[in-house]
Structure 1
């Protein structure tokens, strides 16, 4: 398993390639909550999400094969790997499923890489990616089930704790679980980490209930970023030890949180990026009186036409 030294090393490795995203303490009425929350604005990261942290850490951690790298993604991981590979001069092939947002596919193309689009779900893109890696020798960069990915994502928690000391609890959206695992490993024993998943895409919640990784059906407005069918072994091993619990939110609450992020912060958030806030606005997580809560706003690769309809 990764430890704090791995996350600290990742932080040193990727600095200069990623941004130290800001932390903002919001006023009590900003989102209609009646109490203040501290927001980590990770949507301001290069590529629009935290995924760049894990991608750069993986690509910088060791020698790369001549065939380069490949990745399967609902969109954001693919954008990050494509961006990191382009910056570091490494060949890359990106596989995305048909449910991926056109806005995210366009962002991949902006890096100079034309993604391979095929399959109904993330699992289909992953199978195609693994077949490509086996055929060519390319390094498959997993979106979450890899220690280097998790250590890179964990640098989000390192920054958050340094820039907003004294938090009692942080809320983190969960797709495959690499982000929350890295953050929870860093904050272990000091800050409570609560995962937030859509009701229709809850692989970590199901794994914790079952005592191990299990497959789940995925049907959610946030499926293109929080749509993993199975959290797999590494995430489960870490999250089962260090994540306090996982709460579920309906799609309607996620969409409402997108609206409130726009009204309260002027943030154009994708559904997955608003899920953590939805835990508070929907009441799925209710802080104790005086509890100091942080919320990770983690994704801004949104279809602006769809967001306009929400707002």
Structure 2
């Protein structure tokens, strides 16, 4: 559609990789054991425990280069992880940060955001309401807006994990990612386009990209479920939809039980403490929502670990 933004490109991702080098971790890839053809990209080991740290640094560093960020700093709306990453990056770069979160944001994430020196403000019960409040704040105070998932700098930063993955495991056929607003998917798609297939996995109770692909544009959907704290965007971003139109992903949905079981299996079998949203990608394989072809080499991105360990 003509009103969609141009998709992020691999050149954008490579520029982001250069920009954030030395500020984020190059996370390892866990090789399979025996006949298991599934690799795990351990992005939950990223600084702040989430892939969003990559996009946060890229957004703020690029914003500083362009002269967009002044004394008011940056403002972001987040269910938790984007705010955490932006707050950390802002502290490291000496930038003021204000983070708007829904009233339902997990206390463990809010406490960590505040520990990085950011000001936290609560607004509404869903991400969309916190987003509107953050935009208003930016307009009034002059803070530069950092989108949680639908900004070229943020998307390009997320894509750097796929660059690492494909450099470490160039024989990868398929990369499986969880989708909320679609920033991770759009970045991975940009980096992998023409090199690896992308499988976009969403909870049945938050099918934002699935609905957008069907409609040909971002549309609002109702969101709920165990993964809503990290995959709870009400609509997919325009950059994610543009990426899907540039090269259609394999789009699958998984149920609540499958997500819970995948998270449990990651802990029980691999000792990975993931959040439900991060386990959603793995759930597609365990549940059979995505079936591997003979000889297919698949990498699953475990994208976040900011969870309550007492619930494992």
How much has 1:170 moved relative to structure 2?
A: 1.0
How much has 1:189 moved relative to structure 2?
A: 1.2
Aligned partners of 1:181 and 1:243 also within 8 Å: no
CA offset digits 1:138-169 (Å, max 9, x no partner): 00100111111111111011111001111111
Q: What secondary structure does 2:296 align onto?
A: coil
Aligned partners of 2:97 and 2:119 also within 8 Å: no
Distance 2:295 2:203 in 1: 27
Show the counterpart of 2:26: 20
1:34-113 equivalences under 5 Å are: 35-61=36-62, 62=65, 63=67, 64-113=69-118
Moved more, 210-219 or 225-234: 225-234
Show the counterpart of 1:31: none
Distance 2:282 2:150 in 1: 25
How much has 1:231 moved relative to structure 2?
A: 1.1
Distance 1:12 1:264 in 2: 35
Q: Does residue 112 of structure 2 align to residue 127 of structure 1?
A: no
How much has 1:35 moved relative to structure 2?
A: 2.7
Show the counterpart of 1:248: 253
Distance 1:213 1:195 in 2: 15
How much has 1:10 moved relative to structure 2?
A: 0.4
How much has 1:66 moved relative to structure 2?
A: 2.0
TM-score by length of 2: 0.94
CA offset digits 1:285-305 (Å, max 9, x no partner): 000111111100011000112
Distance 2:142 2:114 in 1: 23
Moved more, 4-13 or 78-87: 4-13
Aligned partners of 1:172 and 1:193 also within 8 Å: yes
Show the counterpart of 1:268: 273
Q: Does residue 9 of structure 2 align to residue 8 of structure 1?
A: no
Aligned partners of 2:96 and 2:118 also within 8 Å: no
Aligned partners of 1:38 and 1:294 also within 8 Å: yes
Match of residue 178, structure 2, among 158, 168, 173: 173
Show the counterpart of 2:201: 196
Distance 1:85 1:255 in 2: 33
How much has 1:114 moved relative to structure 2?
A: 3.7
Q: Which runs of 5 or more structure 1 residues have no equivalent in the other structure?
A: 29-33
CA offset digits 1:67-114 (Å, max 9, x no partner): 100000010000000000001000010000022111111111221224
Aligned partners of 2:56 and 2:86 also within 8 Å: yes
Aligned partners of 1:193 and 1:242 also within 8 Å: no
Aligned partners of 2:102 and 2:124 also within 8 Å: yes
Aligned partners of 1:196 and 1:279 also within 8 Å: yes
Distance 2:237 2:280 in 1: 21
How much has 1:243 moved relative to structure 2?
A: 4.1
CA offset digits 1:7-43 (Å, max 9, x no partner): 1110010011100000011225xxxxx6331110000
TM-score by length of 1: 0.95
Q: What secondary structure does 2:149 align onto?
A: coil
How much has 1:265 moved relative to structure 2?
A: 1.2
Runs of 4+ in 1 over 6 A off after TM superposition: none
Q: What secondary structure does 1:26 align onto?
A: coil
